Amino acid sequence: MAQEPLQIDNQHEGVAISCDATIIVFHAPKAFPPGQPVSLTLWPASDRPLALSARSIGSKLLQEQRFEVRARLVNLSRPAREHLVAAFGPR
């Protein structure tokens, strides 16, 4: 399972664990209610960060007091979609 660094709403650190270019699943320090807009930046410390917009589908509390969040990606460009498929596709 891939774990890619992620910045959430420009204030929280998290990790993206899967993405199929429609739905992204990530771990975050807080929950996001269904329908809430979420601003994500994959690879925030790299020279080519990828900004994404999403809407939360829901959050589930994990044992380590973090949340697993599922979100639907919105307004995704073709280059961004291709980059996500390359990063999270089958290895």
pLDDT tens digits, one per residue of 65-76? 899 999 999 999
Per residue in 33-43, pLDDT (tens digit) is 999 999 999 99
pTM above 0.85, yes or no: yes
Give, for 86, the enclosing helix (H) or strand (E). helix 78-88
Q: Determine the distance from the C-alpha atom of residue 29 to the mean position of all C-alpha atoms in its chain, rounded to a whole number.
A: 13
Higher pLDDT, 2 or 8: 8
Burial class of residue 40 in the structure, from the number of CB atoms within 10 Å of its CB (0-12 exposed, 13-18 middle, 19+ buried): buried
